[in-house]
């Protein structure tokens, strides 16, 4: 028995990071499944439109795999959501499982990405803080299409780092596949093309002796991405005006008259850049508390809580100081934010900017690692070697107990975020911010109507829903 205990203990010491990651992922999954069908207790118009497009996929009315959904995005997300409904059930929880699965996949890929640059403890802490972040947890339980781009970004960042180290063509081919997956998802995922292109020039600059092999690898990635996306590109080009309806509608450059006090395009772009930086880099709450985006976080809440924000800023500072080592992280963080925030209305937008979340928490992990590195390693009491004079264990310096503080702090921050999320989702203000929406208690009525109309390839209009609602609930239904 003692032998097996020693073997288990030895395995635990050698693989504590993997065991820790598994435990964190189990906690993350539990947080995503708790009351999934009832919190939040209503469904927004965007969620219902996605649901109807999933029904159209099920009934063969979606225009094929390479068609476009109601948001003029590729149909891939609708096929994934349709699969979620068929596997997990045609219920509120079933449709929300789409985001649960994608967010869990992103978390699984996040840890090996973090370990490429971080020690086990900072990597585990950043994984836990990302998994429990109110912002990321909210979108992990909301059936909105942005999560597919998050998964694509994490996969691309990991494969890029691995390909640059190994210089294997098959890794570059997988990188191209990740870029194509991003392009098939939420429109923010298309920015991965520009990210990887920028990383090619960065790699050639940092590794001038490997320019030829890098050129072959990135060229292969480009070819793979193009071939995989070509059928969808054909659809986009054939109906270019319709395919760009959504981008035109949210483009800040198409706003007539002034936009937030600016009328000159140069001033608009400058101030949009500053708003994005204040929201995603400085975590300025004052620029995130207006308009539609109140549904994405509680009032007086930045994208990251204040305690994690301090670690984030420490990581950003270290990322500037050791810029050569973390230059690829900067590319994956800043380039998607530039395209999705600077040129669209409502900046800073937590939905369009969700791709930044894993990169922001990589810098959180870097902040933890930097702070740990500043503390001296454990030593004995001055003048002693090994043990104290009374035979006790060596003197405990800050370097010995600080990792425990990191664990306790991460657990406290995660518990605070999770508790705040579930409290916020039950607040009347949060439910009101999600309007227009339907109550969860009326979902089965909406589902019946939506399925009937989806068989004919139609979407339920607000007028059709109100008419049906009065019919099934009575004339007094408002």
What sign has the CA pseudo-torsion 77, 146, 293, 263?
Answer: negative
Write out the DSSP string of 387-399.
S-TTSPPPP--HH
Question: In degrees rounded to 5, what are phi and psi of residue 324?
Answer: -65, -35
Mean pLDDT value of segment 260-268: 88
Q: What is the pLDDT of residue 10?
A: 53
Q: What is the pLDDT of residue 399?
A: 63
CA–CA distance, 56 with 51 (Å, rounded to integer): 9
Residue 27 has pLDDT above 60, yes or no: yes
pLDDT tens profile 116-140:
999 999 999 999 999 999 999 999 9
Residue 12 has pLDDT above 80, yes or no: no
Q: Domain spans of the chain?
A: 36-371+416-473
Q: pLDDT-derived band of residue 475, with 50, 70 and 90 as boundaries?
A: confident
Is the backbone of residue 436 left (phi > 0), alpha (psi -120 to 50) or beta?
beta
Strands 42-44 and 437-439: antiparallel
Residue 2 has pLDDT above 60, yes or no: no
Percent of the chain scored above 70 by pLDDT?
Answer: 90
Mean pLDDT value of segment 242-268: 87
Q: What is the pLDDT of residue 106?
A: 98
> What is each CA distance from 374 to 115, 126, 367, 370, 381, in whole angstroms?
20, 18, 11, 7, 20
Q: What is the pLDDT of residue 293?
A: 60
Q: What is the pLDDT of residue 205?
A: 97
pLDDT tens profile 145-158:
889 999 999 999 99
Indicate the burial class of 320 (C-beta count within 10 angstroms; 0-12, 13-18, 19 or more): exposed
Mean pLDDT value of segment 54-77: 90
Lowest-pLDDT choice from 75-89, 235-249, 281-295, 335-349: 281-295
pLDDT tens profile 320-371:
999 999 999 999 999 999 999 999 998 899 999 999 999 999 999 999 999 9
**Two tokens at 403?**
């990792």
Mean pLDDT value of segment 258-277: 91
Q: Which alpha helices (H) appear in 207-286, and where do they start and end?
A: 211-238, 240-243, 245-250, 265-280
Show contacts of 65-69: CB within 8 Å, 24+ apart.
Answer: 66/231, 66/232, 66/234, 66/235, 67/235, 68/235, 68/236, 68/239, 68/242, 68/243
Residue 365: which H helix or E strand, with range? helix 356-373
Mean pLDDT value of segment 290-298: 68
Question: Which of residues 257 and 329 earns the better pLDDT score?
Answer: 329
Residue 381 has pLDDT above 50, yes or no: no
Question: What residues contact residue 44 under an 8 Å CB cut-off, 6+ apart?
Answer: 295, 434, 435, 436, 437
Q: Do residues 363 and 315 make contact, with C-beta atoms less than 8 angstroms apart?
A: yes
* Nearest by Cα to 352 from 135, 49, 109: 135
Q: Do residues 77 and 69 make contact, with C-beta atoms less than 8 angstroms apart?
A: yes
Q: What is the pLDDT of residue 34?
A: 97
**Two tokens at 306?**
């204040």
**Two tokens at 11?**
């395995």
Q: pLDDT-derived band of residue 189, with 50, 70 and 90 as boundaries?
A: very high
Q: State the distance between the two ends of the chain, measured CA to CA, in whole angstroms.
A: 69
Residue count of the chain, please give it. Answer: 478
* Nearest by Cα to 129 from 312, 272, 265, 301: 312
Indicate the burial class of 441 (C-beta count within 10 angstroms; 0-12, 13-18, 19 or more): exposed
Residue 73, Cβ neighbours under 10 Å: how many? 22
Percent of the chain scored above 90 by pLDDT?
Answer: 69
Write out the DSSP string of 173-197.
HHHHHHHHHHHHSSGGGGGHHHHHH
Q: Do residues 91 and 266 make contact, with C-beta atoms less than 8 angstroms apart?
A: no
Average model confidence (pLDDT) across the chain: 89
Question: Which of residues 365 and 462 earns the better pLDDT score?
Answer: 365
* Nearest by Cα to 115 from 105, 106, 104, 126: 126
* Nearest by Cα to 99 from 139, 61, 47: 139
Lowest-pLDDT choice from 11-15, 72-76, 194-198, 388-392: 388-392
Q: What is the pLDDT of residue 243?
A: 86
* Nearest by Cα to 175 from 187, 150, 198, 192: 192
């Amino acid at each position: 028995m003692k032998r097996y205990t020693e073997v288990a203990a030895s395995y635990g010491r050698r693989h504590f990071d993997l065991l820790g990651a598994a435990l964190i992922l189990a906690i993350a999954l539990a947080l995503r499944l708790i009351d999934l069908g009832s919190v939040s207790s209503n469904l927004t118009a965007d969620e219902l439109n996605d649901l109807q497009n999933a029904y159209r996929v099920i009934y063969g009315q979606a225009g094929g795999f390479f068609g476009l959904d109601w948001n003029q995005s590729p149909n891939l997300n609708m096929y994934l959501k349709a699969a979620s409904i068929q596997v997990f059930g045609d219920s509120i929880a079933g449709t929300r499982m789409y985001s649960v699965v994608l967010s869990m996949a992103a978390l699984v890929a996040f840890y090996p990405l973090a370990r490429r640059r971080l020690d086990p403890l900072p990597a585990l802490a950043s994984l836990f803080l990302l998994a429990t972040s109110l912002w990321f947890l909210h979108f992990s339980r909301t059936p909105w299409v942005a999560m597919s781009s998050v998964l694509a970004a994490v996969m691309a960042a990991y494969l890029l780092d691995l390909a640059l180290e190994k210089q294997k063509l098959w890794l570059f081919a997988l990188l191209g596949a990740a870029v194509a997956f991003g392009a098939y998802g939420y429109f923010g995922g298309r920015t991965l093309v520009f990210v990887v292109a920028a990383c090619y020039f960065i790699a050639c600059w940092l590794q001038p002796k490997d320019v030829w092999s890098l050129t072959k690898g990135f060229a292969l990635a480009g070819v793979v991405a193009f071939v995989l996306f070509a059928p969808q590109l054909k659809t986009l080009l054939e109906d270019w005006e319709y395919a760009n309806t959504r981008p035109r509608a949210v483009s800040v450059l198409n706003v007539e008259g002034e936009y937030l006090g600016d009328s000159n395009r140069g001033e608009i772009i400058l101030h949009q850049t500053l708003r994005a930086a204040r929201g995603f880099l400085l975590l300025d709450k004052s620029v995130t508390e207006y308009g539609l985006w109140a549904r994405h976080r509680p009032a007086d809440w930045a994208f990251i809580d204040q305690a994690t924000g301090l670690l984030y800023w420490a990581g950003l500072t270290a990322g500037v100081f050791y810029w050569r080592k973390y230059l690829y992280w900067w590319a994956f963080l800043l380039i998607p934010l530039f395209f999705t925030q600077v040129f669209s209305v409502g900046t800073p937008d937590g939905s369009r900017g969700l791709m930044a979340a894993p990169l922001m928490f990589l810098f959180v992990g870097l902040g933890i690692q930097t702070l740990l590195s500043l503390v001296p390693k454990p030593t004995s009491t001055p003048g002693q070697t090994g043990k104290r004079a009374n035979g006790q264990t060596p003197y405990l310096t800050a370097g010995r107990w600080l990792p425990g503080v990191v664990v306790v702090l991460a657990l406290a921050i995660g518990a605070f975020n999770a508790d705040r999320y579930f409290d916020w989702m039950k607040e009347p203000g949060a439910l009101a911010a999600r309007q227009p929406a339907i109550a969860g208690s009326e979902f089965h009525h909406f589902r019946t109507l939506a399925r009937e109309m989806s068989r004919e390839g139609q979407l339920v209009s607000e007028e059709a829903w109100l008419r049906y609602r009065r019919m099934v609930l009575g004339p007094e239904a408002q």
